[in-house]
């Protein structure tokens, strides 16, 4: 079409535009200004706020993982000039300000890691493992408490794009039998070799393809195939199902987890065929699978022994992790936020069942009756395991921006207290401590001495900084519990928003080896960074908050049509039952 309009200077050139191309709204919803794409250009250097694909994400990570000393050097050499804070800036002089040209030095300490208890493979005796540089291995040990799955099976998913040995049943059965033996070696007993046989393989030409045609119920062929084999497994009483995927497909994974967790109540382990076929790394891969399976089935992988030094009694303390995940820039309009709460069920700190809830999109606080109900459900579960209510509730709250810290006390603490009022006798309510965890900050620490460096030239795991860069009027500290695999390690910022436990417990009774109550909280938090059951290394975010984050991610799977932007927009939040877990799994670590 030919466009000419003397009132619009962009069209004075009689520019010929295609009627098949879209137009660009350069205004806003209320006052749109539409221009043909032919007269528009994308300026370089703009931030991209939509979701990155896998290749873009990989490129971004590779760019971001520069070594610590390189990062520090760039900050010192180019940082001030980049942000316009060189001392020759006249605006600084007008306010009698100057900016130092070197990084500031702050004191830090390195905490000793806790030791861990497994069991010897050869005989039923405890085996102590000592972490080194934040990691350890499981050689010659079994899980502290194993688990059983009397009914289990496996199924192979294939399509014409994934021609491999798994197309032929014998190879698949042999490898799955190797998996079964590897799990048994860690004391995860699967009756078999194959307790329940299912039809395999299931062939679909378009596994993970989002553009599949749907029926009148909104179901694709993929949905129907997944529902079919899960229904067959459920009918035969399968409790654990290994699913061999033809290739890595986030969409396929989300559909499987949604159907299995919510509709049929079956624990599922998804593995990509090529990873199982790789004989070189198969032993380690099976060991990693075992850590997940044992947690799903209710076992204890190991016990952290470091809590004895600080005399903190987790047999009387329920540890809670909370997080909220929000819609991404590319999510469907009206997508809600998802809140998650996990909680320990006993003093071993191995099992952390979760509960999920829906709330208004972009809302950071978990408000009202839903938070009360979430904590009440965790207290009920504690009672079923311990026959008594906990004396203390220690909360690690993730997903809160710095400007919202006081809102946690004003909005969430009263709802937590209300839950306790409904469960406890008057005057017997528990003491509550709330510690906020933050990873989205710009603070980084660089070692001043190579003696305190790890192999990646970061600070050693266990480094804590609680002065010099912390607030004098508040109670906070920075903690790097982990070894960064790449780039510069990012410490976690912990902010003690409210404390009733530690001041009461240690007010006049500081254990030997500790100077004050702050040291004890830091030590407890450090030890909790070693409780992440599916890893053999300490983690950057303490375990309760980390598990809550994983539970939120599982909730995003259930609402993937909204979070991934493939659903229809709706200002009304989806019904709560879209996050309701099947009764078979609701008291388990289904999300791990």
The radius of gyration of the chain's CA atoms, rounded to the nearest angstrom, is 27
Distance CA 483, CA 477 (A): 18
Output the pLDDT for position 535: 95
Output the pLDDT for position 226: 92
Distance CA 163, CA 342 (A): 41
Output the pLDDT for position 515: 92
Percent of the chain with pLDDT over 90: 63
Q: What is the pTM assigned to this prediction?
A: 0.89
> pLDDT tens-digit profile of 522-559?
999 999 999 999 999 999 999 999 999 999 999 999 99
Output the pLDDT for position 590: 98
Q: What is the DSSP letter of 470?
A: S
What does the buried/exposed string (b/e) look like for 564-578 if buried means 16 or more CB atoms within 10 Å of the residue's CB?
Answer: bbebeeeeebbeeeb
pLDDT over threshold 70, residue 449:
yes
Q: What is the DSSP letter of 101?
A: S
pLDDT over threshold 90, residue 150:
no
pLDDT over threshold 80, residue 51:
no
- Could you tell me where in the chain the CATH 3.40.50.2300 domains are found? 146-296
Give, in words, the CATH class of 146-296: alpha beta
pLDDT over threshold 50, residue 45:
yes
**Which of the residue ranges 46-55, 233-242, 399-408, 443-452 would you say has the lowest mean pLDDT?**
46-55
**Which of the residue ranges 98-102, 372-376, 382-386, 407-411 would you say has the lowest mean pLDDT?**
98-102
CB-based burial of residue 154 (10 Å sphere; 0-12 exposed, 13-18 middle, 19+ buried)?
buried
**Which of the residue ranges 87-96, 182-191, 320-329, 449-458 would you say has the lowest mean pLDDT?**
87-96
End-to-end, the C-alpha distance of the chain in Å comes to 56
Short-list 291, 340, 31, 266, CA closest to 187: 291
| Fold that domain 310-579 belongs to in CATH | Nucleotidyltransferase; domain 5 (3.30.420)
- pLDDT confidence of 179, banded at 50, 70, 90? very high
Output the pLDDT for position 41: 87
Output the pLDDT for position 446: 96
Distance CA 60, CA 338 (A): 27
pLDDT over threshold 90, residue 494:
yes
pLDDT over threshold 70, residue 439:
yes
Give the list of residues 6+ apart from residue 244 with CB closer than 8 angstroms, or none. Answer: 154, 155, 156, 157, 166, 172, 271, 272, 273, 276
- pLDDT confidence of 229, banded at 50, 70, 90? very high
pLDDT over threshold 60, residue 35:
yes
Output the pLDDT for position 484: 93
- pLDDT confidence of 261, banded at 50, 70, 90? very high
Output the pLDDT for position 547: 99
Q: What is the DSSP letter of 104?
A: P
**Which of the residue ranges 61-65, 257-261, 577-581 would you say has the lowest mean pLDDT?**
61-65
Short-list 226, 222, 204, CA closest to 214: 222
**Which of the residue ranges 105-119, 163-177, 191-205, 384-398 would you say has the lowest mean pLDDT?**
191-205
Residues 141 and 129: beta-carbon distance below 8 Å: yes
- Could you tell me where in the chain the CATH 3.30.420.10 domains are found? 310-579
């Amino acid at each position: 079409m030919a466009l000419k309009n003397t009132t619009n200077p962009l069209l004075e050139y009689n520019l010929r535009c295609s009627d098949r191309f879209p137009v660009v709204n350069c205004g806003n919803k209320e006052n749109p200004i539409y221009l043909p794409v032919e007269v528009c250009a994308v300026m370089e250097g703009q931030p991209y706020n939509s979701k990155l694909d896998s290749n873009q994400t990989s490129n971004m990570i590779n760019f971001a993982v520069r070594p610590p000393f390189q990062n520090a050097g760039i900050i010192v050499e180019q940082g001030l000039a980049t942000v316009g804070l060189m001392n020759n800036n006249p605006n600084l002089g007008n306010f009698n300000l100057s900016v130092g040209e070197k990084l500031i030095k702050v004191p830090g300490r390195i905490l000793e890691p806790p030791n861990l208890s497994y069991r010897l493979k050869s005989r039923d005796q405890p085996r102590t493992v000592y972490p080194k540089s934040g990691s350890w291995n499981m050689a010659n040990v079994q899980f502290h408490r194993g688990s059983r799955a009397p009914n289990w099976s496996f199924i192979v998913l294939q399509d014409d794009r994934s021609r491999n040995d798994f197309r032929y049943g014998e190879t698949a059965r042999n490898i799955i039998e190797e998996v079964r033996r590897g799990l048994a070696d860690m004391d995860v007993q699967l009756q078999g070799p194959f307790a329940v046989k299912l039809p395999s393989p299931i062939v679909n030409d378009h596994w993970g393809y989002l553009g599949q045609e749907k029926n009148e119920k909104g179901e694709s062929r993929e949905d129907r195939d997944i529902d079919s084999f899960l229904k067959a497994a459920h009918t035969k009483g399968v409790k654990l199902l290994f699913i061999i995927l033809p290739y890595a497909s986030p969409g396929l994974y989300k559909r499987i987890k949604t159907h299995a967790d919510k509709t049929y109540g079956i624990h599922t382990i998804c593995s990509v065929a090529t990873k199982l076929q790789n004989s070189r790394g198969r032993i380690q891969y099976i060991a990693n699978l075992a850590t997940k399976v044992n947690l799903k089935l209710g076992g204890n992988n190991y016990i952290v022994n470091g809590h004895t030094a600080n005399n903190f009694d987790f047999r009387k303390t329920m540890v809670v992790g909370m997080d909220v995940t929000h819609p991404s820039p590319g999510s469907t309009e009206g997508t809600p936020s998802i809140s998650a709460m996990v909680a320990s069920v006993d003093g071993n700190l191995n099992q952390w069942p979760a509960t999920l809830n829906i709330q208004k999109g972009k809302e950071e606080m978990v408000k009202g009756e839903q938070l009360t109900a979430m904590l009440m459900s965790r207290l009920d579960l504690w009672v079923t395991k311990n026959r008594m209510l906990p004396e203390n509730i220690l909360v690690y709250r993730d997903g809160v921006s710095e400007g919202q810290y006081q809102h946690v006390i004003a909005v969430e603490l009263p709802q937590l207290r209300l839950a306790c009022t409904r469960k406890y006798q008057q005057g017997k309510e528990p003491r509550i401590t709330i510690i906020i965890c933050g990873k989205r900050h710009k603070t980084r620490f660089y070692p001043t001495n190579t003696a305190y460096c790890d192999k990646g030239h970061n600070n050693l795991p266990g480094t804590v900084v609680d002065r010099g860069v912390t607030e004098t009027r508040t109670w906070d500290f920075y903690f790097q519990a982990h070894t960064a695999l790449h780039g510069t390690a990012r410490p976690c910022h912990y902010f003690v928003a409210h404390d009733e436990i530690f001041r009461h417990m240690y007010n006049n009774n500081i254990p030997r080896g500790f100077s004050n109550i702050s040291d004890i909280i830091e030590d407890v938090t450090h030890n909790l960074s070693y409780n992440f059951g599916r890893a053999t290394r300490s983690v950057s975010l303490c375990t309760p908050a980390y598990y809550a984050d994983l539970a939120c991610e599982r909730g995003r799977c259930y609402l993937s049509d909204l979070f991934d932007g493939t659903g229809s927009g709706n200002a009304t939040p989806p019904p709560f039952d879209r996050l309701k877990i099947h009764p078979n799994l609701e008291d388990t670590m289904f999300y791990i």
